Chain A
Amino acid sequence: MMSVRSVKRAAAGFAALALTAAPAFAQDGGAGLPQLDTNSFATQIFWLAVTFVALYLLMSRIALPRVRDVLEERDRRIADDLEKAEKLKEEAEAVLAEYEKALADARSQAQAAMAEATEKANAEAAKRQQALADTLAAQVAEAETRIGAAKREALENVRQVAVEVSREATLRLIGGDIAEADAAKAVDAALKESA
């Protein structure tokens, strides 16, 4: 700016030189600078005041508020839009988080269900095995009791037969009938001896 001003100053000096050097062009009749003609001052000041005040009023009342309104409206809209975008972004992030949570939930639920099913199946298998084992054990026990009973019965029969045989034998050998109770006692003692 400084350089422009100094160029300007030089130019003004040159213009003044040109003015003095070219009096042939000057036909002002020695009236001097029109700018220094005080007769024109009143009208210039008057119309300057009128037009400038008019411009000031037009600018401050009508033109500038309109520009300001538009600029403010735009700033507000931009701020609004940014805010809205921010909100939407947050919403989207919330939805994403929710979705991921749901996915994780589903996954863990599936795993839980699977574990439960496995456990249930294992339990079922164990139960069945247990039941089978119980049945088998019961059958074994029953069979054992049956065998025991049969054995006892067989033994009883053997004793009975021994008692009768011993009475018969006694009868035949010595002709003496012995009481059944004595025979049984003798058989029992013999059985106890052999046992």
Chain B
Amino acid sequence: MASGPLEQFQIKPIIPIQVGDLDLSFTQSSLMMTIAVVLVTGFLTLAMRGHTLVPSRLQSMAELSYEFIAGMIRDSVGPEGRKYFPFVFSLFMFILLGNLLGMIPYSFTYTSHIIVTFTLAFAVFVIVTIIALVRHKLHFFSYFFPEGAPIYMAPLLIPIEILSYLARPVSLSIRLFANMMAGHTMMKVFALFTISLGVFGVAPLAINVALTAFEILVAVLQAYVFTILTCLYLRDAIHLH
């Protein structure tokens, strides 16, 4: 019971798997990822099972999530973004489910680990850069010099632009990881206060109730932020400036 507020982030193997020197154990984090995939897939296939013209409640939820991401891509990337819709949709659902499942007591938030969010952000970064290079070839590098800027500013602007471009996966991953970790840590801290303060624990308990609602908002919001930033990067890759 008297565990530290950071103990919840400990990775615990369920099925130990060792491949050579690498520890690829199936952990509670892997379990939550699997549950997320199963839930998203189950939700969509179950909702669309009847695929009726007049949707049932579950079907309208599935259609709503589809239209939400499709609209986001249409608005921020344009019609060229349609190709990347399944990727962006998977990304949003994966992060959203990771964040929301983490709100269930005794579960685990896989998005609270920097390595997970960084891998996702890095994947986005690599994909976006490849798309940009394939579309614009060498012309892509003109991205690092803003159009219309005086040429003598180039020595200053180009390093800044390159740095900010390279900082994208870092800021994208740290934003999500820090939000998730801070929220869960805070909740755990107040939960521990509640226990240690006895009767007066009602006050931190009340805070935790409010925090729970706040954390659910953050969970949805951060999934949205991650996705919309991915869309904006995609737009930059397709339209350059």
Show the binding face of A for B, using Cβ within 8 Å: 1, 4, 8, 11-12, 14-16, 18-19, 22, 25-28, 33-37, 39-49, 51-52, 54-56, 58-60, 62-64, 66-71, 73-74, 77
Interface membership of B199, Cβ < 8 A:
no
Q: Which residue of B lies closest to A46 (CB)?
A: B24
A64 x B186 contact (CB < 8 A): no
Q: Which residue of A lies closest to B45 (CB)?
A: A63
Find chain A residues with CB under 8 A from B119 CB: 44-45, 48-49
Query: With A35-B115, A67-B63, A74-B53 as given contacts, are A12 and B87 in contact (CB-CB < 8 Å)?
Result: no
Q: Which residue of A lies closest to B27 (CB)?
A: A43
* 23 CB-based A-B contacts, threshold 8 Å: A1-B221, A15-B186, A18-B186, A19-B5, A19-B6, A25-B189, A26-B5, A27-B2, A27-B4, A35-B181, A39-B23, A42-B22, A43-B13, A43-B25, A45-B115, A48-B116, A48-B120, A55-B90, A56-B86, A56-B87, A59-B93, A63-B45, A71-B63
Find chain B residues with CB under 8 A from A37 CB: 11
Q: How far is the CA of A46 from the CA of B15 in the complex (A)?
A: 14
Which of B6, B22, B44, B55 is within 8 Å of A34, CB to CB?
B6
B90 x A51 contact (CB < 8 A): no
- Which chain B residues in 13-45 approach chain A with CB under 8 Å? 13, 17, 22-27, 29-30, 33-34, 36-37, 40-41, 44-45
Q: Max chain A CB contacts within 10 Å: which of B22, B182, B185?
A: B182
B6 x A26 contact (CB < 8 A): yes
Chain B 43-64, CB-CB to A under 8 Å as 1, else 0, gives 0110010010101000100110
Q: How far is the CA of A16 from the CA of B185 in the complex (A)?
A: 9
Q: How far is the CA of A58 from the CA of B6 in the complex (A)?
A: 34
A66 x B30 contact (CB < 8 A): no
Which of A18, A36, A48, A66 is within 8 Å of B44, CB to CB?
A66
A59 x B86 contact (CB < 8 A): yes
Find chain A residues with CB under 8 A from B17 CB: 43
Show the binding face of B for A, using Cβ within 8 Å: 2-7, 9-11, 13, 17, 22-27, 29-30, 33-34, 36-37, 40-41, 44-45, 48, 51, 53, 55, 59, 62-63, 66-67, 85-87, 89-90, 93-94, 110, 112-116, 119-120, 177-179, 181-183, 185-186, 189, 192-193, 196, 217-218, 221, 225
A70 x B6 contact (CB < 8 A): no
A71 x B66 contact (CB < 8 A): yes
Q: How far is the CA of A37 from the CA of B23 in the complex (A)?
A: 13
Q: How far is the CA of A39 from the CA of B21 in the complex (A)?
A: 11
B6 x A64 contact (CB < 8 A): no
- Interface residue SS majority, chain A: helix
Q: Which residue of B lies closest to A32 (CB)?
A: B6
Q: Max chain B CB contacts within 10 Å: which of A1, A64, A74?
A: A64
A67 x B66 contact (CB < 8 A): yes
Find chain A residues with CB under 8 A from B85 CB: 64
B53 x A77 contact (CB < 8 A): yes
B24 x A18 contact (CB < 8 A): no
Find chain A residues with CB under 8 A from B7 CB: 27-28, 34
Find chain B residues with CB under 8 A from A41 CB: 115
A58 x B221 contact (CB < 8 A): no
Which of A16, A26, A56 is within 8 Å of B90, CB to CB?
A56
Q: How far is the CA of A59 from the CA of B93 in the complex (A)?
A: 10
Q: Which residue of B lies closest to A41 (CB)?
A: B115
B66 x A68 contact (CB < 8 A): yes
B192 x A34 contact (CB < 8 A): no
Q: How far is the CA of A186 from the CA of B62 in the complex (A)?
A: 144
Query: With A59-B86, A59-B89 as given contacts, are A11 and B182 in contact (CB-CB < 8 Å)?
Result: yes
A44 x B113 contact (CB < 8 A): yes
Which of B24, B55, B189 is within 8 Å of A22, CB to CB?
B189
Q: How far is the CA of A49 from the CA of B115 in the complex (A)?
A: 12
Q: Which residue of B lies closest to A78 (CB)?
A: B53
